[in-house]
């Protein structure tokens, strides 16, 4: 048998393969992942390394002069420049306003729309549609709606006897207006995530709890809410990160004003880099934002791991 | 007093009627099993009793109390689900005490009742575990424990053993029977497994397409089925049913008249193998399945019909052997053209 095989192989002139099966599998695997790896290196890791380097220089985009300044830009942001803390505070105010509002609204909508009833698909579509609407169109339309006396929002309020403020021209109201319009735009995404999580909870849990005498509120608080915890954590983190990165709404609706009342970190970085051409300083700010978002992600991973255990 | 009375109970989902007028009386302390094929409405009927499904029409009494509009939690029933429905984020102890907590039973009393139930179900060592850390049988015991702590008047079981393997199912069946003996509560149990029904029930309710086909003790259903459906549903392997015309001559030689019967039923375990030419039927062995305790023979009759025979004795015939089949006339079942049983008295008439 072995002889026959040897003869057969030599007759066909076959040689031992150049790569072992294991090596061939490794090569194939790398070929499959290479598009992603190349993209990651070119568009994520490369720029990240570049930003780290830029953040250690004083580089003016106009004069094209670059000087290595060490951690000066970081020291500038954290201790010398009062604007940074004001901007950071605005970012946190934006996040703390948006995240609870978005999440609670998303949960309420999901609870209402997770069970089948006539028209449920229509309502889900209505609440999800803004998510896929152009952010630019959304912001511009709302900018018109929120105009002082001429705006549709204030005209509606006037019908019920409320004298609405000039939403986008008063610092405190501008922040509220930006948060609310952003929530309306993005709440559909979290609603869908919550609907998926709610539909994954077996109906028997609710039936068992109801038979044991639990009220609707008790069922929600003692059964549904704990079972939603992993989803809530994910939604919390992605919404928090998203709110830190908000740019388009601010750029189009308030431009960071009035009186820097809506000047948040991402928009401030844009201004420093592309308006005032302080690329080094903007890069240092971007790194600080990266660290904040990274820290939030790490916290999420730790909490999830603990939750899974 | 925890008897149950179902009067002309109906359930419609939209225009589909799934329970089509059920009348049934369940005595205090009785173990009643609803059995029937998938989609016959047995689980729906159980959920109507529990209060998890509304009653479209008819009346439901627990004791003397009309409970059509009484909330599920106020009916004094506890239910064990097929999926167990144990809350995954709570420990065994918390699961068992859930109902007591929502009803605001004092902590000491709740603790005592949970510990009592845990002791009776041998769950003490598992109290601080989560459901995911338990085996299927343990989960089932916890689900039963959760039902016990509420001190319900009526226990409802919705296919509680379906997710267990065969060996565990036999074990848990015995545990449920022991529990009924110990507690003495009224129990209503849904299953599609007729062996479970036969072994557990004081009374079996056979359902098909939302109506009751027959109610009776396991023995009554086995020995005196009201119709072809019950005859073939109860008993395993199912009853052989032959066209009366094809065995008329052979029966006549033994002084048996088929009268108006259209079909003749013979249980596989009641047929015995005899020499070819003897007995009331004659056929050829086509398939022989040895199962250890017995051999299952597939016999092709001269009429072309096939019957199953459980052969317990020695001298098992071989494939292609020509054999005769005998049966005690007492064990013959007669059915009319509509599949309804013809009782001996009716036959005499």
Per-residue pLDDT tens for B66-120? 999 999 999 999 999 999 999 999 999 999 999 999 999 999 999 999 999 999 8
Q: Which residue has the tokens 């830029």?
A: A54
Determine the residue among B77, B80, B87, B144 to mutate to test chain A binding: the one whose Cβ has the most chain A Cβ atoms within 10 Å: B87
Token pair in block for residue B317: 């015939």
The neighbour count for residue A195, using CB atoms within 10 Å, is 22
Gap between the Cα atoms of A173 and A194, Å rounded: 30
The tens digit of pLDDT for each residue in B224-281 reads: 999 999 999 999 899 999 998 888 888 888 777 888 889 999 999 999 999 988 888 8
Which domain CATH number covers A218? 1.10.3720.10
DSSP string, A231-266: HHHHHHHHHHHHHHT--HHHHHHTTT-STTTT--HH
Task: Say whether pLDDT at A308 is over 80.
Answer: no
Q: Taking a contact as any Cβ pair under 8 Å apart, which residues of chain A between 222 and 241 contact chain B? A: 222-223, 226-227, 229
Contact B172, B161 (CB under 8 A): yes
Determine the pLDDT at residue B348: 42
By C-alpha distance, the chain B residue nearest A217 is B102
DSSP B82: T
For residue B311, give how far its alpha carbon lies from the nearest alpha carbon of chain A (Å). Answer: 45
CATH of domain B4-233: 3.40.50.300
On whether residue A66 sits in a domain, the answer given is no
CB of A37 within 8 Å of a chain B CB? The answer is: no
On whether residue A115 sits in a domain, the answer given is yes
Q: How many domains is chain A partitioned into structurally?
A: 2
For residue B84, give how far its alpha carbon lies from the nearest alpha carbon of chain A (Å). Answer: 8
Mean pLDDT value across chain B: 91
Determine the residue among B13, B50, B88, B160 to mutate to test chain A binding: the one whose Cβ has the most chain A Cβ atoms within 10 Å: B88
Q: Which of B253, B84, B63 is nearest to B159 (CA)?
A: B84
Determine the pLDDT at residue B1: 59
Residues 6+ apart with CB under 8 A from A93: A175
Determine the pLDDT at residue A83: 87
Asked if B83 lies within 8 A of A204 by C-beta distance, the reply is: yes
Name the E strands within B105-200. 154-158, 186-191
Set of chain B residues whose Cβ sits within 8 Å of the Cβ of A214: 73, 98-99, 102
Contact A50, A66 (CB under 8 A): no
Set of chain B residues whose Cβ sits within 8 Å of the Cβ of A226: 87, 89
Contact B189, B174 (CB under 8 A): no
Determine the pLDDT at residue A2: 47
The tens digit of pLDDT for each residue in B181-237 reads: 999 999 999 998 888 999 999 999 999 999 999 999 999 999 999 999 999 999 989
Determine the pLDDT at residue B149: 93
Range of weakest confidence among A227-241, B156-170, B249-263: B249-263
Task: Say whether pLDDT at B155 is over 90.
Answer: yes
The tens digit of pLDDT for each residue in B3-32 reads: 999 999 999 998 999 999 999 999 999 999
Determine the pLDDT at residue A14: 62
Task: Say whether pLDDT at A126 is over 70.
Answer: yes
Indicate whether A46 and A146 sit together in one domain.
no
Per-residue confidence band for B344, with pLDDT thresholds at 50, 70 and 90: low
Interfacial residues of B (vs A; Cβ cutoff 8 Å): 50-52, 72-73, 77-79, 81, 83, 85, 87-89, 98-99, 101-103, 146, 150
pTM: 0.81
Question: A with B: how many residue pairs have Cβ under 8 Å apart?
Answer: 58
Determine the pLDDT at residue A1: 45
The tens digit of pLDDT for each residue in B303-339 reads: 889 999 999 877 889 999 999 999 998 899 999 999 9
DSSP string, B52-68: SS--SEEEEEETTEE-T
Question: How far apart, in Å, are the Cα atoms of B273 and each of A82, A309, B63, B257, B324?
Answer: 103, 62, 52, 23, 6
DSSP string, B9-43: EEEEETTEEEEEEEEEEE-TT-EEEEE-STTSSHH
What is the bridge-based pairing of β-strands B31-35 and B16-26? unpaired
Token pair in block for residue A208: 């068992």
Determine the residue among B76, B83, B145 to mutate to test chain A binding: the one whose Cβ has the most chain A Cβ atoms within 10 Å: B83
Determine the pLDDT at residue A5: 47
Question: How far apart, in Å, are the Cα atoms of B295 and each of B32, B155, B217, B280, B289?
Answer: 33, 39, 28, 21, 5
By C-alpha distance, the chain B residue nearest A207 is B52
Q: Helices B92-102 & A203-211, crossing angle to 10 degrees?
A: 50
Set of chain A residues whose Cβ sits within 8 Å of the Cβ of B52: 207, 210-211
Gap between the Cα atoms of A108 and A194, Å rounded: 9
Determine the pLDDT at residue B17: 93
ipTM entry:
0.85
Asked if B102 lies within 8 A of A207 by C-beta distance, the reply is: no
Name the E strands within A110-219. none
Asked if B99 lies within 8 A of A213 by C-beta distance, the reply is: yes
Per-residue confidence band for A13, with pLDDT thresholds at 50, 70 and 90: low
Q: Which of A136, A164, A130 is nearest to A249 (CA)?
A: A136
Average pLDDT in the A95-112 region? Answer: 96
Average pLDDT in the A250-274 region? Answer: 88
Determine the residue among B52, B67, B74, B147 to mutate to test chain A binding: the one whose Cβ has the most chain A Cβ atoms within 10 Å: B52
Task: Say whether pLDDT at A306 is over 80.
Answer: no
Gap between the Cα atoms of B237 and B308, Å rounded: 8
Residues 6+ apart with CB under 8 A from B272: B279, B309, B311, B313, B325, B326, B327
Q: Which residue has the tokens 């989609």?
A: B39
Range of weakest confidence among A67-76, A179-188, B50-59: A67-76
Per-residue confidence band for A154, with pLDDT thresholds at 50, 70 and 90: confident
Indicate whether A134 and A247 sit together in one domain.
yes
Domain boundaries, chain B: 4-233, 240-348
Where is pLDDT greater, at B255 or A274? A274
Indicate whether A261 and A131 sit together in one domain.
yes
Determine the pLDDT at residue A12: 53
Indicate whether A50 and A161 sit together in one domain.
no
Asked if B98 lies within 8 A of A222 by C-beta distance, the reply is: yes
Set of chain B residues whose Cβ sits within 8 Å of the Cβ of A207: 52, 79, 81, 85
Indicate whether A204 and A265 sit together in one domain.
yes
Gap between the Cα atoms of A232 and A210, Å rounded: 24
Where is pLDDT greater, at A8 or A88? A88
Set of chain A residues whose Cβ sits within 8 Å of the Cβ of B88: 227
Q: Which of A123, A96, A126 is nearest to A112 (CA)?
A: A123
By C-alpha distance, the chain B residue nearest A223 is B87
Determine the pLDDT at residue B349: 38
| φ and ψ of A243, to 5 deg | -70, -30
Q: Which residue has the tokens 């159980």?
A: B46
% pLDDT > 90, chain A: 53
Of the residues A37, A54, A71, which one is the last residue of a structural domain?
A54
Set of chain A residues whose Cβ sits within 8 Å of the Cβ of B146: 208, 212
**Upstream peptide bond of A80 is cis (omega within 30 degrees of 0):** no
Indicate whether A134 and A173 sit together in one domain.
yes
On whether residue A197 sits in a domain, the answer given is yes
Token pair in block for residue A90: 């605005």
Task: Say whether pLDDT at A133 is over 60.
Answer: yes
Asked if A211 lies within 8 A of B79 by C-beta distance, the reply is: yes
Across B315-341, b (16+ Cβ under 10 Å) vs e yields eebeeeeebbbebeeeebbbbbeebeb
Indicate whether A234 and A272 sit together in one domain.
yes
Asked if A212 lies within 8 A of B52 by C-beta distance, the reply is: no
For residue B32, give how far its alpha carbon lies from the nearest alpha carbon of chain A (Å). Answer: 20
Gap between the Cα atoms of B190 and B145, Å rounded: 18
Cα end-to-end distance, chain B, whole Å:
43
On whether residue A75 sits in a domain, the answer given is no
Indicate whether A164 and A103 sit together in one domain.
yes
**Upstream peptide bond of A307 is cis (omega within 30 degrees of 0):** no
Per-residue confidence band for A90, with pLDDT thresholds at 50, 70 and 90: very high
| φ and ψ of A272, to 5 deg | -60, -40
Class of domain B240-348: mainly beta
Token pair in block for residue A60: 């003016």
Asked if B98 lies within 8 A of A215 by C-beta distance, the reply is: no
Q: Taking a contact as any Cβ pair under 8 Å apart, which residues of chain A between 180 and 209 contact chain B? A: 202, 204-205, 207-209
On whether residue A300 sits in a domain, the answer given is yes
Q: Which residue has the tokens 């009348």?
A: B23
Gap between the Cα atoms of B297 and B285, Å rounded: 7
Domain extent, residue A22, equals 2-54
Asked if A211 lies within 8 A of B72 by C-beta distance, the reply is: yes
Gap between the Cα atoms of B79 and B99, Å rounded: 12
Asked whether this chain's domains B4-233 and B240-348 adopt the same fold, the reply is: no
Asked if B85 lies within 8 A of A202 by C-beta distance, the reply is: yes
């Amino acid at each position: 048998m072995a002889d026959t095989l040897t003869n057969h192989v030599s007759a066909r002139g076959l040689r031992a393969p150049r790569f072992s099966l294991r090596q061939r599998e490794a090569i194939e695997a790398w070929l499959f992942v290479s598009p992603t790896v190349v993209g990651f290196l070119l568009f994520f890791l490369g720029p990240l390394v570049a930003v780290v380097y830029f953040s250690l220089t004083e580089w003016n985009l106009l004069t094209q002069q670059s000087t290595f300044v060490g951690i000066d830009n970081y020291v500038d942001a954290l201790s010398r420049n009062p604007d940074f803390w004001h901007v950071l505070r605005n970012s946190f105010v934006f996040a703390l306003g948006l995240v609870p509002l978005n999440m609670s609204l998303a949960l309420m909508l999901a609870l209402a729309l997770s069970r089948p009833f006539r028209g449920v698909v229509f309502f889900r579509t209505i609440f999800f549609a803004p998510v896929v609407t152009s952010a630019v169109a959304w912001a511009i339309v709302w900018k018109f709606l929120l105009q002082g006396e001429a705006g549709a929002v204030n005209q509606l309020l006037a019908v019920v006897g409320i004298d609405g403020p000039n939403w986008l021209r008063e610092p405190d109201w501008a922040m509220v207006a930006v948060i609310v319009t952003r929530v309306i735009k993005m709440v559909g995404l979290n609603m869908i995530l919550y609907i998926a999580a709610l539909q994954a909870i077996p109906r028997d849990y609710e039936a068992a709890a109801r038979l044991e005498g639990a009220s609707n509120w008790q069922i929600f608080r003692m059964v549904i809410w704990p079972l939603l915890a992993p989803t809530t954590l994910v939604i919390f983190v992605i919404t928090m990160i998203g709110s830190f990165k908000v740019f388009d709404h601010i750029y189009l609706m308030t431009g960071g004003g009035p009186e820097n009342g809506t000047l948040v970190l991402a928009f401030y970085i844009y201004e420093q880099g592309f308006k005032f051409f302080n690329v080094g300083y903007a890069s240092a700010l971007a790194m600080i934002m990266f660290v904040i978002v990274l820290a939030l992600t790490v916290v999420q991973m730790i909490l999830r791991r603990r939750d899974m255990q | 007093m925890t008897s149950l009375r179902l009067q002309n109970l109906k359930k419609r989902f939209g225009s589909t009627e799934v329970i089509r007028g059920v009348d049934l009386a369940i005595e205090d302390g009785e173990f009643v099993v609803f059995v029937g094929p998938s989609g016959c409405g047995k689980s729906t009927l159980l959920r109507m009793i529990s209060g998890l499904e509304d009653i479209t029409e008819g009346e439901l009494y627990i004791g003397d109390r009309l409970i059509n509009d009484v909330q599920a939690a106020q009916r004094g029933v506890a239910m064990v689900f097929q999926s167990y429905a144990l809350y995954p984020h709570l420990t065994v102890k918390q699961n068992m005490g859930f109902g007591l907590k929502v009803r605001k039973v004092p902590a000491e009393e709740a603790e005592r009742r949970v510990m009592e139930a845990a002791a009776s179900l041998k769950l003490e060592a598992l109290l601080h575990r989560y459901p995911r850390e338990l085996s299927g049988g343990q989960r089932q015991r916890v689900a039963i424990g959760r039902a016990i702590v509420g001190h319900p008047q009526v226990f409802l079981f919705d296919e509680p053993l379906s997710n267990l393997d065969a060996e565990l199912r036999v074990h848990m069946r015995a545990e449920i029977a022991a529990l009924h003996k110990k507690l003495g509560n009224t129990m209503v149990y849904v299953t599609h497994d007729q062996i479970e029904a036969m072994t557990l029930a004081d009374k079996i309710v056979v359902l098909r397409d939302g109506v009751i086909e027959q109610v009776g003790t396991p023995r009554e259903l086995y020995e005196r089925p009201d119709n072809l459906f019950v005859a073939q549903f109860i008993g395993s392997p199912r009853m052989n049913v032959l066209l009366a015309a094809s065995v008329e001559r052979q029966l006549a030689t033994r002084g048996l008249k088929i009268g108006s019967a259209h079909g003749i039923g013979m249980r596989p375990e009641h047929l015995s193998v005899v020499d070819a030419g003897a007995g009331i039927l004659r056929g050829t062995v086509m398939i022989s399945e040895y199962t250890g305790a017995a051999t299952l023979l597939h016999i092709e009759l001269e009429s072309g019909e096939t019957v199953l025979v459980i052969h317990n004795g020695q001298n098992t015939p071989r494939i292609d052997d020509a054999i005769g089949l005998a049966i005690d006339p007492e064990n013959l079942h007669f059915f009319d053209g509509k599949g309804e049983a013809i009782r001996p008295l009716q036959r005499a008439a």
